Amino acid sequence: MSGYLLLRGLGRGNTSRVYLAEKVALAAPTPTGTAPTSHAPTPSVAVRAGTRVALKVPLPATLADQGAAERFANEVRLTLQFRHPHLVAGLDGTAFGPGTFLAMHHYQGGTLARQLSQGPLSLNAALQVLADVASGMAYLHRAGAVHQDVKTQNVYLEEGEVAGVHRAALGDFGSTYFEAQGGQVSGSPFYMAPEVYQGEMTGPPSDVYSFGVLAYELLSGERPHLGDSYESLMVSHLTHFAPPLNIGGLPRNLARLLETALAKRPGDRPPSARLRRALLESLGHPDEAQPEFETQTGTTERAASGTASGTDRSSVGRHGPDASVQRSAKQTGALPSPASPPQPASAKRGWNPFKKK
């Protein structure tokens, strides 16, 4: 973490702290020919002195737990590896060791969860945020990756060119994996797809379901499934159906498509690329050209590859309080238990990844 001056705290969670930090010039450059150590930073871009970043630092307890440390390392690697305008931009980081950290672009608008706690977005602004998130999600799916934790706390905002309209980026890749390599099942109960509750493996349709929950919450002001325990949420996601999205000004064909994202069966949900196209069309924007999957070294690939494995407590990704829950009396009940370490996909049907043993 050397080379950064901590300015103030941005948030704290169960596994890490996030600071606003500034890149400073090192007193002495590394001598030419010195071999890098195994824990040396692996910056994906040159960070200039004076650049302000969001600096994520794991807690000592995170580093002491092998599973938690590996998830943080996974987040560092993939945040530095992915390159898309609507994915959180990684700037610098070290995946392992006592100096582990992740430096990211600082999104001054904070998280979507925090924004919603201050009031709803206009329809146009909401559709713009959804189009951006769908674009980033479609890029991941095209790269063969599954995010596994699409939710308002993991969407970061910055002001767009029009006042009140934000540009959005999807972040927090600690649970992300490449389908070609396999991964561990994870998710957040309010946003988890039915198949995840049933102990089945996740995939792009699971991300689409989580996106559907996020879209419903952003457009209607409430989540489609509510509950004050893991069990009640599971029953709702498995057996209940959300009311139609009857939002003034929202095109009915787009509303139906977003409702279909909440289909109980994965095969009935639309692909993320179709969601992106429909949202951009509703805004009168041309479909964005999706960049190739770019690796940290600058090469591009079409298929999955690479390795996946007194502070202001504002929401920062999964590591901050769920502000959007607190804004509605219906959502202020006891939340489900925090996630236990993810289990293999071969775990028996009915496995509960969030229930304390």
Domain holding 224: CATH number? Answer: 1.10.510.10
The residue segments making up the domain with residue 147 are 112-331
What's this model's pTM, rounded to 2 decimal places?
0.77
pLDDT tier at 321, thresholds 50, 70, 90: very low
Q: Is the pLDDT of residue 125 over 80?
A: yes
Is 121 contained in some domain?
Answer: yes
Structure token pair of residue 274: 């179709």
Is 352 contained in some domain?
Answer: no
- Total domains, the chain: 2
Residues 101 and 116 in one domain: no
Chain centroid to Cα 290, Å, comes to 19
Residues 101 and 248 in one domain: no
Residues 90 and 126 in one domain: no
Is 342 contained in some domain?
Answer: no
- The percentage of residues in the chain with a pLDDT greater than 70, rounded to a whole number, is 73
Is 204 contained in some domain?
Answer: yes
Is 339 contained in some domain?
Answer: no
Q: Say if CB 137 and CB 147 are below 8 A apart.
A: yes
Residues 143 and 183 in one domain: yes
pLDDT of residue 288: 63
Structure token pair of residue 133: 């998130």
Looking at residue 185, its amino acid is: V
Is 356 contained in some domain?
Answer: no
Question: Which residue numbers are catalytic?
Answer: 149
Q: Is the pLDDT of residue 41 over 80?
A: no
Phi, psi of 262 (to 5 degrees): -95, 15
Domain end: 79, 105, 131, which one? 105
Q: What is the pLDDT of residues 187-213, one digit of tens each?
A: 999 999 999 999 999 999 999 999 999
> What is the four-CA torsion angle of 113, 187, 207, 268, rounded to 10 degrees?
-120
pLDDT tier at 291, thresholds 50, 70, 90: low
Residues 116 and 81 in one domain: no
Is 349 contained in some domain?
Answer: no
Q: Is the pLDDT of residue 12 over 70?
A: yes
Q: Is the pLDDT of residue 16 over 50?
A: yes
Residues 208 and 151 in one domain: yes
Residues 171 and 226 in one domain: yes
Q: Is the pLDDT of residue 324 over 90?
A: no
Q: What is the DSSP letter of 87?
A: B
Residues 180 and 260 in one domain: yes
Distance from C-alpha of 245 to C-alpha of 256, rounded to nearest angstrom: 8
pLDDT of residue 164: 66
Domain end: 105, 135, 157, which one? 105
Residues 311 and 196 in one domain: yes
- Distances in Å between the Cα of 134 and the Cα atoms of 47, 84, 101, 271, 313 are 28, 12, 28, 10, 27
pLDDT of residue 318: 33
Residue with tokens 């920062």: 316
Domain end: 53, 80, 105, which one? 105
Q: Is the pLDDT of residue 329 over 70?
A: no
Q: What is the pLDDT of residues 57-81, one digit of tens each?
A: 999 999 999 989 999 999 999 999 9
Structure token pair of residue 349: 């049907």
Residues 292 and 323 in one domain: yes
Higher-pLDDT residue of 285 and 335 is 285
Q: What is the pLDDT of residues 150-184, one digit of tens each?
A: 999 999 998 765 666 789 999 999 999 999 888 88
pLDDT tier at 237, thresholds 50, 70, 90: very high
Q: Say if CB 156 and CB 171 are below 8 A apart.
A: yes
Distance from C-alpha of 285 to C-alpha of 280, rounded to nearest angstrom: 5
β strands within 113-154, DSSP E = 145-146
Residues 132 and 255 in one domain: yes
Is 347 contained in some domain?
Answer: no
Distance from C-alpha of 89 to C-alpha of 81, rounded to nearest angstrom: 9
| CATH number where 65 lies | 3.30.200.20
pLDDT of residue 286: 78
Q: Is the pLDDT of residue 304 over 50?
A: no
Average pLDDT score over residue span 282-303: 58
Q: Is the pLDDT of residue 296 over 60?
A: no
pLDDT of residue 117: 92
Residues 141 and 92 in one domain: no
> What is the four-CA torsion angle of 213, 216, 219, 223, rounded to 10 degrees?
-80
